[in-house]
Structure 1
Amino acid sequence: MHLIKNALIKDVVDTQCSDPFGCLGLQAHTNKKGLMLTVWQPEAASIRVLAIDSDKLLADMTQTDENGLFFAEWPSLAERFHYRLEITYHSGDRHVMVDPYQFPSTTFVDPEHHQASLYKSQGAIQTRASITKKLSIQGTRFAVYAPAARSVSVVGDFNSWDGRTHPMSSNGDGIWRLFVPDVNHGARYKFEIRARSGDILPHRSDPYAQRIEQYPSFASVTCFDHKHAWQDEKWVTRPITDLYEQPMSIYELHLGSWRRKDDNQPLTYLELVDQLVPYIEEMGYTHVELLPVTEYPFDGSWGYQPVGLYAVTSRFGTPEEFKALVDALHQANIGVIMDWVPAHFPADSHGLANFDGSKQYEYPDPKKGWHPEWNSLIYDFGKEHVVNYLISNAVYWLEEFHIDGLRVDAVASMLYLDYSREDGEWIPNKDGGNHNYEAIDFLRRLNETVYLNHPRCFTVAEESTAFPGVSKPTYMNGLGFGFKWNMGWMNDSLDYIKKDPIYRQHHQGELSFSMVYAFDEQFVLPISHDEVVHGKGSMIAKMPGDSWQKFANLRAFSAYMYFHPGKKLNFMGNEFAQGQEWSHERSLDWHLLDVALHKAQHALSKDLNHLYQNQTSLHYDHSPQGFEWISYDDSANSILAFARFAKNRSEHSIAVVNFTPMPHGQYRIGVPQAGRYQVIMDTDATHYTGSGFASTQIYDTQAVASHGREQSIELQVPPLAGILLRWLGEA
């Protein structure tokens, strides 16, 4: 027995072994012929060794003086064999299991992967261990990166969450591995990590887990139930087009509060298939943008404090059911964008913080690694395994869930070392500046990976500063994003529209200024969830005046947004003038559609979407050649007038927006070409509950010079309204 009393066995018993294959399982005798089997089962009373494929008894194991340590010998055997263990516990329970320590090759052979597809080799991977040419055993291969750990065990329902039972093995590359037979789909598990200090850390969820339970367990769950058969081939193989020349109207959505059941429970993914998809299709949106669906422990974070970047949140169903939702949207020709959070992560004890007793995922110095605004940790973008973890995650959503676009959250916080910090609270870069070079390199690599491997997909940056080249290619020294949120337009236009119309004449520049930089980036115009929370009130609540004027203001603003260059994004509820400020804990106020003013805003939103899709002159919004001012300086009347052109200039339209309650019966504007113009949108129309001021629908140009043009028309301009006129050609 002294032969098995060695340092490795002691480490196993003390749950601090890094090489369990060196002493557990079948081993060649060290100083005599034959084989010896060592098994560590701390709660076992007795163990019998059975044949792998029958109930044939191969040996009764002998227990040593160490509680739970058993061994058996076969002096005449030299060739290793496979076996099962019949374990009888002190409680009297009996269990038959296949010993994982007889499969070193299955444990240590990593599935093929590239850096951008680490998810195919990390975490819990379903695999099979070969027994004979005809016999194999299915199980799960666990792998977790924890280079500073003294030992790691996988724990779960399959071993009563006992960290002594399944110690994992490391070959020195920082990854701990173990193949556990007969652990299949739906098994709950975590990792028990002993730090170098000797402390056993709180059980960690798998960083690559594809499903994680909610509070209180936060257990990772093996996820091999690949039942969904994709039916979106037409969508995923569609011709690759220039997105900058296509209409993009995005419906931003929080899945848990879009619509709720009578008991205030949110809809499931499958219920959203039935209710959300036809709604989006009818309303004419081209894309939905989902607030983060990666798993998160705290409802109130809306998903922006994720613990489980590879796991679809289990609040609304399974990963396969989420795939069904994406599939249904694609079949309805609706693209799917998801908010993605690579900037920071919370310090929850089951997550990535101090993962193996060291700062593996976060910057070690809190001046760089702690986010004071959000009380969260910042990824260390200087570590290769962190960058690979994040880029692999982006690829995972595009490949496994057919996601079309990633809207990257909080990019500004990544770019600047002094973001939300006072002097002395941040560490300058090597050149003494405030740019985070490592984060910049990460973002460029991320975008290169996405666009090189998934040319139909795109990325969007939520970036609120004047950092240059956010949506310029990396070969032009840009960050490589496809689009950037136009936060300047959003702030200026909302500040303007909240003012009483009598004061707007003094703030005309707040609206016209956006065109100074409109083509510096590829912009999305966002009226997002951030503008209707935290005391900011709903969109309709921001509008000044009495009830009629509030809705007229909102209709005018909606038209201005759709006429202005840039892709469009509206948060759910904006389309029907949601009354209350948004709360993640309740449904939108769908009953308001029974009220005429709200119903009219809903109808206008639908019509604007369809107008936008069908009016080619509104699509060419990434080049100054698609836009011309007609009048930006009529501050006395608070009127803007401009022309929009299709790429080949064969089509054009004229937008006029009046931001005062004063109508104009004879308002002359210059026009690009002679001919006839037709009103194709008037937000003051009576079917939108407007005044119906303008009766003329067709205007013929006159050879009267105006606004620097030889031809002009004399318009009826309704109060607090936007109108769009389409050029019909020569009269």
Structure 2
Amino acid sequence: MKKKTLNIIKNDPWLEPYTDAIVGRHNEALNKEAELCGPDGTLESFANAHNFFGLHHTADGGWVFREWAPNATAITLIGDFSKWKIMKKYALKPKKNGVWEIKLKPNDIHHGDLYKMMVSWDGGQGERIPAYATRVVQDEQTKVFSAQVWSPEPYKWKVRRFRPDTRPLMIYECHIGMAQEREGVGTYTEFRDLILPRIAADGYNAIQIMAIQEHPYYGSFGYHVSSFFAPSSRFGTAEELKSLIDRAHELGIAVIMDIVHSHAVKNEVEGLGRLDGSYNQYFYGDSRREHPAWDSLCFDYGKNDVLNFLLSNCKYWLQEFRFDGFRFDGVTSMLYYSHGLGQAFNGYDDYYNGGQDTNAITYLTLANKLIHKINPNAITIAEEMSGMPGLAVPIKDGGIGFDYRMAMGIPDYWIKTLKEKKDEDWHPTSIFWELTNRRADEKTISYVESHDQALVGDKTVIFRLIDKEMYWHMMRDDDNMVVARGMALHKMIRLVTASTINGGYLNFMGNEFGHPEWIDFPREGNGWSYKYARRQWDLVDRKELKYMLLNAFDNAMVHLISSVYNFQSLPVVKLWEKDDDQVLAYMRGDLAFVFNFNPSKAFTGYGILAPAGEYDVVLSTDNPDFGGYGNIDESVSHLTQNDPLFAPSGKEWLRLYLPPRSAQVLRLRRATPPKSSKKGFKA
């Protein structure tokens, strides 16, 4: 392949010195694909391990079970059907390439039976849950996990085909278990019936669900996965998860799964840790085996059998459950031998200095290629903080192929600002640069805060702003200045972040209305309490509280942005920034966004150079319906004033009243209304 054909280098001349490394990675992926698929195969046909391994029905009504365990010397199924005793009848036979197999008659096992494998190896023996188990349950009394024979009637889908709306993509990040009001673990069905309607009403067109893959410890937030092909049974059955996804599609909501392929739980009985007795079946067998920061195991992406397992896992979730894509967790950890720990990533040399795991880069490239082959409309998002170029560039252009990357620097910026800067030191130049500083050839998901900022040990934005005053002064008739400041900045921070997206916007469940306190899952340190592992929806539903005002603003903001077709692709044109005044203004399409971050100064007739014409206010953070004071008269139209000095530019002075800590969005009138992707919305 000619080096000059890679668009990633054409689009960024600063990458030219690293052409050999970029082309080398690209060719590594192409060569590995050819190796895996052979002369006549495809990536789609290769990624079929889940249809071969595990437990399956046979044409004669019986069963076949297979496991890949090259280090095993014997494997026997044990379970309810054998009274948990080792019986010769249930012994697997060794086949080629480390594969073990057993064929069973229809009545040898039954739907609902619990089972495991008893695996023997030279020098040891142990119970194991099959790697490809699709249902794993925990006994409430003993807390022991087992696989379960699961063969119900196939789920009948209501929505046959669904195409996500990504123009723009507005993501509601959520967790099934903690989505409910009650203290306990929520279910797929409760989420479908109680939470999806809220999300639809809020205007989000996608949900990103955390903790779907089975994990032994609930408090891990789903990050220590044990059974990669099993949806967590603590939330319900696979059919109930499918019903949730089906209902989301009926509501026009895409469903993105948070997939964890960056590491796995260390557990040996429940997980893949030593499934066949060896240390290096799925994971590295040397010093790279254990993740130094996560207390977990690292996959060996250089093994074809591991690639088969992980690629098949992607295909399984897409086809069996009809997920619309994935957010890949911990991508930074995968990309570097150091897992990115302790690295600053200050320049391009840091991305091409030999410290990158080419095998992991190859896997991610092939995963993206496979996912988009199976579903061309699928969404892939990389959670990655180092900023490696090309991550969200198409594979054909020399990239790794993600559709989006998380803009992880933005929440860090807001936290640093709130912690270290006085209100009068907030500079619009800094805010605008941080929110718009991104690679031109990559789309990002911008966000103020995700679940990471809501977990114990950190603080949400609203809690940093208002803190303990939230407990006493959130009644609508209570005019507390701490709360007023906090609500004003909460709205402004969200609006400036959401309105500068070049790909999509993300909000974590409850943060749209300023959910108080933190997330703390049941653990020994809190007496195994569910008090903070839930969402207090009653707060936003109560009309006497201010939470509903923040929610109303978020709804208006999301609906306004979503009403503009391809909003994320419109240029962000800076109109005005003045750090002394703390005023920022920019335009996207017909919408002008004007912010006054000044904590004390109001400006009358403040002039902003904008395209000539008449402007109407379509959104104001100072609207009383959103907890503001109503100092912006939204009924007044603003006609720009001519200035001969700027006549050649087509700009005139747009003069506005700017109250302190306020933002307003104005629409430039056109002869023909802008094309809308949302019918019936009126700003």
TM range (shorter): 0.7 to 0.9
Q: For residue 520 of structure 1, report the CA deviation from its aligned partner.
A: 4.3
Identity rate of aligned residues, in percent? 29
- Equivalent residue letter for 1:339: D
- Equivalent residue letter for 2:425: R
Q: Larger deviation: 712-721 or 431-440?
A: 431-440
CA contact (8 A) 1:706 1:712 kept: no
Q: Which residue of 2 aligns with 1:266?
A: 185
SS of equivalent residue, structure 2 residue 456 = coil
1:644 aligns with 2:588: yes
CA contact (8 A) 2:454 2:519 kept: yes
Q: Which residue of 1 aligns with 2:385?
A: 464
Kindly report which structure 2 residues correspond to 1:124-163, keeping only aligned pairs within 5 A, or say none.
Answer: 124-129=55-60, 138-163=61-86
Kindly provide the CA deviation profile for residues 547-601 of structure 1, in whole angstroms up to 9, marking residues without a partner as x.
1111111011121122112311010111110111123433222232224321100
- Give the distance between the partners of 1:502 and 1:432, measured in 2 at CA: 41
Q: Which residue of 1 aligns with 2:291?
A: 371
- Give the distance between the partners of 1:319 and 1:398, measured in 2 at CA: 14
Q: For residue 439 of structure 1, report the CA deviation from its aligned partner.
A: 0.1
CA contact (8 A) 1:670 1:709 kept: no
Equivalent position to 2:433, from 490, 497, 512: 512
Kindly report which structure 2 residues correspond to 1:460-609, keeping only aligned pairs within 5 A, or say none.
Answer: 460-498=381-419, 501-505=422-426, 508-517=429-438, 519-526=440-447, 527-543=449-465, 546-566=482-502, 567-584=504-521, 585=530, 586-593=533-540, 594=542, 595-609=544-558
Alpha-carbon distance change, 422 to 149 in structure 1, aligned in 2, over 3 angstroms: farther
- Equivalent residue letter for 1:677: Y
Q: Which residue of 2 aligns with 1:629?
A: 574
Q: For residue 432 of structure 1, report the CA deviation from its aligned partner.
A: 7.2
Q: For residue 706 of structure 1, report the CA deviation from its aligned partner.
A: 6.4
Q: Larger deviation: 601-610 or 509-518?
A: 509-518
TM-score scaled to structure 1, two decimals?
0.76
Q: For residue 678 of structure 1, report the CA deviation from its aligned partner.
A: 1.0
Alpha-carbon distance change, 225 to 653 in structure 1, aligned in 2, over 3 angstroms: same
Q: Which residue of 1 aligns with 2:128?
A: 204
CA contact (8 A) 1:140 1:184 kept: no
Higher normalized strand content (fraction of residues): 1
Q: Larger deviation: 555-564 or 309-318?
A: 555-564
Equivalent position to 1:174, from 85, 89, 98: 98
- Give the distance between the partners of 1:494 and 1:724, measured in 2 at CA: 25
Q: Which residue of 1 aligns with 2:272?
A: 352
Equivalent position to 1:301, from 220, 224, 248: 220
Kindly provide the CA deviation profile for residues 59-94 of structure 1, in whole angstroms up to 9, marking residues without a partner as x.
xxxxxxxxxxxxxxxxxxxxxxxxxxxxxxxxxxxx
- Give the distance between the partners of 1:494 and 1:432, measured in 2 at CA: 31
Equivalent position to 1:190, from 116, 120, 129: 116
- Give the distance between the partners of 1:630 and 1:498, measured in 2 at CA: 29
Kindly provide the CA deviation profile for residues 401-435 of structure 1, in whole angstroms up to 9, marking residues without a partner as x.
01002000000000010125579xxxxx9x97210
CA contact (8 A) 1:703 1:711 kept: yes
- Equivalent residue letter for 2:490: L
Q: Which residue of 2 aligns with 1:229?
A: 156
Q: Larger deviation: 389-398 or 431-440?
A: 431-440
- Give the distance between the partners of 2:596 and 2:519, measured in 1 at CA: 29
1:611 aligns with 2:592: no
- Equivalent residue letter for 2:159: D
- Equivalent residue letter for 2:415: L
Q: Which residue of 2 aligns with 1:700?
A: 639
Alpha-carbon distance change, 699 to 671 in structure 1, aligned in 2, over 3 angstroms: same
- Give the distance between the partners of 1:332 and 1:576, measured in 2 at CA: 22
- Give the distance between the partners of 1:678 and 1:443, measured in 2 at CA: 47
Kindly provide the CA deviation profile for residues 453-492 of structure 1, in whole angstroms up to 9, marking residues without a partner as x.
2112121000001201110011222110011000122222
- Equivalent residue letter for 1:207: A
- Give the distance between the partners of 1:602 and 1:374, measured in 2 at CA: 35
Q: Which has the higher contact order (CA 8 A, sep 6+)?
A: 2
1:659 aligns with 2:597: yes
Q: For residue 173 of structure 1, report the CA deviation from its aligned partner.
A: 1.9
Kindly provide the CA deviation profile for residues 306-329 of structure 1, in whole angstroms up to 9, marking residues without a partner as x.
111110111111100110111111
- Give the distance between the partners of 2:651 and 2:520, measured in 1 at CA: 53
Q: Which residue of 2 aligns with 1:389?
A: 309
CA contact (8 A) 1:489 1:514 kept: yes
Q: For residue 498 of structure 1, report the CA deviation from its aligned partner.
A: 4.8
SS of equivalent residue, structure 1 residue 321 = helix
Q: For residue 501 of structure 1, report the CA deviation from its aligned partner.
A: 4.8
Kindly report which structure 2 residues correspond to 1:108-119, keeping only aligned pairs within 5 A, or say none.
Answer: 114-119=45-50
TM-score scaled to structure 2, two decimals?
0.81
Kindly provide the CA deviation profile for residues 321-373 of structure 1, in whole angstroms up to 9, marking residues without a partner as x.
1101111111111110110000000111221012212110001112x221011
Alpha-carbon distance change, 486 to 549 in structure 1, aligned in 2, over 3 angstroms: same
- Equivalent residue letter for 2:119: I
Q: Which residue of 1 aligns with 2:368?
A: 447
- Give the distance between the partners of 1:502 and 1:718, measured in 2 at CA: 15
Q: Which has the larger radius of gyration?
A: 1
Q: Which residue of 2 aligns with 1:418?
A: 338
CA contact (8 A) 2:622 2:662 kept: yes
Q: Which residue of 1 aligns with 2:29?
A: none
CA contact (8 A) 1:459 1:481 kept: yes
Kindly provide the CA deviation profile for residues 69-123 of structure 1, in whole angstroms up to 9, marking residues without a partner as x.
xxxxxxxxxxxxxxxxxxxxxxxxxxxxxxxxxxxxxxxxxxxx93212211110
1:290 aligns with 2:214: no
- Give the distance between the partners of 1:385 and 1:444, measured in 2 at CA: 17
Kindly report which structure 2 residues correspond to 1:98-117, keeping only aligned pairs within 5 A, or say none.
Answer: 114-117=45-48
SS of equivalent residue, structure 1 residue 309 = strand
CA contact (8 A) 1:207 1:309 kept: yes
Q: Larger deviation: 538-547 or 653-662?
A: 538-547
CA contact (8 A) 2:606 2:655 kept: yes
CA contact (8 A) 1:505 1:637 kept: no
- Give the distance between the partners of 1:626 and 1:421, measured in 2 at CA: 35
The RMSD of aligned alpha carbons is 2.3
SS of equivalent residue, structure 1 residue 378 = coil
SS of equivalent residue, structure 1 residue 178 = strand
Kindly provide the CA deviation profile for residues 26-75 of structure 1, in whole angstroms up to 9, marking residues without a partner as x.
xxxxxxxxxxxxxxxxxxxxxxxxxxxxxxxxxxxxxxxxxxxxxxxxxx
Aligned length: 582
Gaps of 5+ in 2: 1-43, 344-349, 467-480, 522-529, 673-683
- Give the distance between the partners of 1:375 and 1:214, measured in 2 at CA: 22
Higher normalized helix content (fraction of residues): 2
- Give the distance between the partners of 2:671 and 2:94, measured in 1 at CA: 78
CA contact (8 A) 2:178 2:535 kept: yes
CA contact (8 A) 1:676 1:730 kept: no
Q: For residue 229 of structure 1, report the CA deviation from its aligned partner.
A: 0.8
- Give the distance between the partners of 2:341 and 2:199, measured in 1 at CA: 41
Gaps of 5+ in 1: 1-112, 130-137, 424-428, 646-651
Q: Which residue of 1 aligns with 2:624?
A: 686
- Equivalent residue letter for 1:596: L
Q: Which residue of 1 aligns with 2:675?
A: none
- Give the distance between the partners of 1:710 and 1:124, measured in 2 at CA: 69
Q: Larger deviation: 488-497 or 206-215?
A: 488-497
Q: Larger deviation: 120-129 or 600-609?
A: 120-129
Q: For residue 655 of structure 1, report the CA deviation from its aligned partner.
A: 0.7
CA contact (8 A) 2:596 2:663 kept: yes
CA contact (8 A) 1:126 1:184 kept: no
SS of equivalent residue, structure 1 residue 602 = helix
- Equivalent residue letter for 2:275: F
CA contact (8 A) 1:677 1:727 kept: yes
